[in-house]
Structure 1
Amino acid sequence: MSIPAIAPISAVTHTAQAVQPGAAGPANGPSFVEMLSNGLSVTEAKLAKADELVAQFAIDDSIPVHRVTYALEEARISFELMLQVRNRLLEGTQQLMNMQL
């Protein structure tokens, strides 16, 4: 039984480029703005779904109460996360504004 050799880093990463100071590296995923937009749209969708289930539950008893409770809690947690991200962004912005150059 033989153990395979460890591949060099350049063989593992296909974009082995030297990053110069002040230069942005290659983008490997969604941008920060895209992540925030996706998070907001997901939160909005969860809130709309919870609203819809509450309205259906008030009109018709065919919707189980546990589905409504679950949707409301999921929307609440998503909204709390959105508020925490907003608060952290505001804190960071305030710290940047208070920096002396």
Structure 2
Amino acid sequence: MMAPVGAIEGVLATPPVLTMLGAPPPVAAPGGPGFADLLAAGMRGVESKVAAADDLVRRFTLEDGVPVHQVTFALAEARLSVELAMQVRGRLLDGYRELMTMQL
């Protein structure tokens, strides 16, 4: 017994005619955040760590209740975040330069 044509079309993701003609199958859009969104989120994280370290240093100089080890830890975390951001920036620039020098 043969299935109706409408039922078969619902099962096929790409019609066979398009595949035989060489047309690329449709690509589903990714559901996650884009590359620019990830970079922006990373930079916001770096900015928040630097701001938190700056706030702790300010409170340490004005108040007696802030322990030295908290300030030291916040400053080290902020420094490492900035260094990581600079490394990512350098790798992105290297990749861009390499793409620009490629011959087509």
Q: TM-score range by the shorter chain?
A: 0.7 to 0.9
Once residues 54 and 22 of structure 1 are traced to their aligned partners in structure 2, the CA distance between those partners, rounded to angstroms, is: 57
Once residues 91 and 40 of structure 2 are traced to their aligned partners in structure 1, the CA distance between those partners, rounded to angstroms, is: 16
For structure 2, the 5+ residue unaligned runs are: 1-12, 15-22
TM-score by length of 2: 0.72
For residue 80 of structure 1, the aligned residue among 60, 72, 83 is: 83
CA change 1:47–1:95 in 2 (3 A) is: same
Residue identity in the other structure for 1:44:
E
Number of residues of Structure 1 aligned to a counterpart in Structure 2: 84
For structure 1, the 5+ residue unaligned runs are: 1-16
For residue 38 of structure 2, the aligned residue among 31, 35, 40 is: 35
Identity of aligned residues (%): 48
Aligned-pair Cα RMSD in Å: 2.1
Once residues 71 and 25 of structure 2 are traced to their aligned partners in structure 1, the CA distance between those partners, rounded to angstroms, is: 50
Residue identity in the other structure for 2:83:
E
TM-score by length of 1: 0.74
Once residues 43 and 53 of structure 2 are traced to their aligned partners in structure 1, the CA distance between those partners, rounded to angstroms, is: 15
Residue 26 (structure 1) shift: 3.2
* Equivalent position of 1:67 in the other structure: 70
CA change 1:25–1:64 in 2 (3 A) is: same
CA change 1:23–1:70 in 2 (3 A) is: farther
Once residues 64 and 22 of structure 1 are traced to their aligned partners in structure 2, the CA distance between those partners, rounded to angstroms, is: 61
Q: Identify the structure with the greater helix proportion.
A: 2
Once residues 22 and 99 of structure 1 are traced to their aligned partners in structure 2, the CA distance between those partners, rounded to angstroms, is: 28
